[in-house]
Amino acid sequence: MSIWAIGDLHLSGHQPKPMEIFGTHWTNHWENIQAFWAQNVTEADTVLLAGDHSWAMRLTEAVIDLAEIGRLPGNKVLVRGNHDYWWDTVTKVNRVLPADMLAIQADFVTREHYAVCGTRGWLCPNEQGLSAADMKIYQRELGRLEMALTKARQQGHTRLIVLLHYPPFNEIQQSSGFSTLMEKFDVKHCIFGHLHGGAALKNFDGCHNGVNYHLVACDFLNFQLKKIL
């Protein structure tokens, strides 16, 4: 049994949006992802989905895309992305998800002897700082991650994975509250998406202070899933 990850699927079943407007490499991106997924992932595997699942604006509209993902093999765990405007409360999201999918926020789920702790994340402070509004969200997301990690530790879990949408550092890869928390809790792997194009190429993807960072935006992965474990 394996743990895979991918993010930023950007599906649009309710109102189709051609992703080629972001570059010709996005042509038939979902068909390419599905082909790799079906050939490599088994029903016993886990797939971590790092946000931006659907362009839908309402939960009732996103159901089409969520069902598409649900038809593929594996148990899926997902967090919210910045473009997931359809995301309501996590309770309401879980009510409409297929049986093999689970949304988490400020919480964790156990998969393959690991506790997967999830939240959306946010922009990280840089030399210019964040606006008051952004700083408020940043602090809230830090609190949500700490809550998830604390819950996992209290229940005896020592193998921890963090699932975010935003990268846990700023554009020049400086430490943040997120990376500090993960080091404090001895997190083994951090999965995130959000970055595309030039921003993705400048991203840090590797091991730092004991945490293995994985950028899994689907275009960065050439529209394939990444095997984490």
Site of tokens 């297929």: 98
So what's the pLDDT on residue 97?
97
Residue 19 in tokens: 């992703």
In tens digits, what is the pLDDT along the chain, a chain of 229 residues?
899 999 999 999 888 888 877 888 899 999 999 999 999 999 999 999 999 999 999 999 999 999 999 999 999 999 999 999 999 999 999 999 999 999 999 999 999 899 999 999 999 998 777 899 999 999 999 999 999 999 999 999 999 999 999 999 988 888 899 999 999 999 999 999 998 876 666 677 789 899 999 999 999 999 999 999 9
So what's the pLDDT on residue 103?
98
Q: Which fold has domain 3-227?
A: Purple Acid Phosphatase; chain A, domain 2 (3.60.21)
So what's the pLDDT on residue 40?
98
